[in-house]
A and B are shown apart, each in its own frame.
Chain A
Amino acid sequence: MEPLTSKKKILEQKPLTFAERIYLPAIAKGLSVTISHLFKKEATIRYPEVQREFSINFRGLHSLKRDEHGKERCTACGLCALSCPAEAITMIAAERKPEEKDLYREEKYAAVYEINMLRCIFCGLCEEACPKEAIYLDGPIVPSDYLRKDFIYGKDKLVEQPLTNK
């Protein structure tokens, strides 16, 4: 059959020379290549003592942010739970009492806010959906654990950023 282009390389299969047939020179060359790798620095990164840097857009652990007065931004509107494709977020709203005015920005706040880290796919849709700029995915990688129940992160444990100056 005629080739369709003229770019085809014609493979010449010459019979092996004597040096090629005894394999030994090729083996010696291969051995020298391999042994040179013994003296090179290895490329392994010893996690978790040494960790590589993430890019700026990396999405890690969630954190609920506070405003400049230290009050929690989250108002338990539920838009993040609505937008989550994995249905990982659940919350229970509560009304702010008069003595808690310094703790929460608006009259409605999330008394219980839970994210199931095993369901979460770290897509960032909750970050995009939040109208109060309350949730951001700027934490590290979620550490591993043994039991399923330990992966449901509540508000006090890890889904909160502590007060900066108060």
Chain B
Amino acid sequence: MDIAFVIEKFILVTIIFVITLVIAMYSTYAERKVAAFLQDRLGPDRAGPFGILQPLADGLKMFMKEEIIPTNASKWLFMVGPGLAMLTACIGTAVIPWGSPIVVNDRIVPLQVTDINVGILYIFGVVSLGVYGVMIGGWASNNKYSLLSAIRAASQNISYEIAMGLSIIALLLVTNTMSLKEIVDQQHGWHWNIFYQPLGFLIFIICAFAETNRAPFDLPECETELIGGYHTEYSSMKLGFYLFAEYINMFVSSAVMATLYFGGYNYPGMDWVLMHTGPVVGPLIGTAVFFTKIFAFIFFFMWVRWTIPRFRYDQLMHLGWKGLIPLAIANIIITGIVIAIIEKF
């Protein structure tokens, strides 16, 4: 392992981390703007032209506020909760292929921090760890309402993880590999997985909404139900971490969906473009296309949030266990039958 390899990975990790944070920061701005335009009003437009500097103002506010720790709260767990939420949100970005490998100075640099051959399983594991951040936050607050909300959040998360895993199994039947790089390579040009697995994609996107505690499944944190939910007692930077981790989760979920079902950095006509733009610019165009898909998904997340009323807790459980799991199993069976028939002929 030579020093150039270490430096290359280090630079890649730094760039991806910075891009993730900046995109999450401007997701907060976009959320407010999109919410406003959907509600016939303007969003923030006083901080800088068109309100562009609003996230910086919000960040400054988060830094300047006083950190309050409740008296009987377990101090260490109180601080670990948001940190864990942020950690599990950020490490999900490590296995996503951001673009085709670029060639710099006779050196092929893959635009993916690490291409482990159980990529999907890693993402799934990281998402499961995200439950801990919420649960610890709710428990450490020493507040029975936060605890209730944390319990609801945890049960919602684990219920929808099952349906997500089952839909991924159906995808694995089609792709025969768990490595994200190979899944993206199989979707070259127009052969996106959405055409092979439409039902699987539907289940996956519903579970993604539930996993990120977003849109119609945001019972754990909506203001009308439980004040603040599991982050009621948090203030200043710890609250900032929780809210930020939610937007990073949204970004990572969008990236995973775009990778698994919408072809990642592939687009029709990419061979022509790669031939004509050289080894450095071509893959970066693919990366730009990938980010366009991610932003489209993020917009969809926000669009759905301001359209659909939220699910009540029992309706949510009913949908997860009695609706999505049978549907996901049926999807696996149908996929298996279709693949067996196709292989016969």
Contact = CB atoms under 8 A, between A and B. Distances in A.
A34 B34 CA distance: 11
Interface in B30-62: 36-42
A90 to B, nearest CB: 38
24 contacts: A27-B304, A27-B307, A27-B308, A30-B307, A30-B308, A33-B307, A34-B303, A34-B306, A34-B307, A35-B38, A37-B37, A37-B38, A37-B40, A38-B37, A38-B38, A40-B40, A42-B36, A42-B40, A42-B41, A42-B42, A43-B40, A43-B41, A44-B42, A46-B42
Contact of A31 (B39, B42, B303): B303
A26 to B, nearest CB: 9
B303 A35 contact: yes
Interface of A: 27, 30-31, 33-35, 37-38, 40, 42-44, 46
A33 B42 CA distance: 18
Nearest to A31: B307
Contacts of A30: 307-308
A43 B36 CA distance: 11
Contacts of A43: 40-41
A121 B280 CA distance: 69
Contacts of B306: 34
B42 to A, nearest CB: 5
B208 to A, nearest CB: 15
B182 to A, nearest CB: 32
Nearest to A32: B307
Interface string B295-331: 0000000011011100000000000000000000000
Contact of B38 (A27, A34, A44, A46): A34
A46 to B, nearest CB: 8
A43 B42 CA distance: 8
Contacts of A37: 37-40
Given A35-B303, A44-B42, 14 more contacts: A27-B304, A27-B308, A30-B308, A31-B304, A31-B307, A34-B306, A37-B39, A40-B40, A42-B37, A42-B40, A42-B41, A43-B40, A43-B41, A46-B42
Contacts of B37: 37-38, 42
Contacts of B40: 37, 40, 42-43
B305 to A, nearest CB: 10
Nearest to B45: A46
Contacts of B39: 37
Contacts of A38: 37-38
A35 B307 CA distance: 9
A37 B206 CA distance: 24
A30 B39 CA distance: 13
Contacts of A40: 40
A28 to B, nearest CB: 10
Contacts of B38: 34-35, 37-38
Contacts of B42: 42, 44, 46
A148 B308 CA distance: 47
Contacts of A34: 38, 303, 306-307
Contacts of A35: 38, 303
A3 B320 CA distance: 41
Nearest to B36: A42
A46 B40 CA distance: 13
Nearest to A46: B42
B322 to A, nearest CB: 11
A29 to B, nearest CB: 10
A37 B41 CA distance: 10
A40 B40 CA distance: 7
Contacts of B308: 27, 30
Nearest to B300: A31
B138 to A, nearest CB: 29
Contacts of B304: 27, 31
A30 B38 CA distance: 12
A44 B41 contact: yes
B33 to A, nearest CB: 11
A40 B307 CA distance: 16
Contacts of B303: 31, 34-35
Contacts of B307: 27, 30-31, 33-34
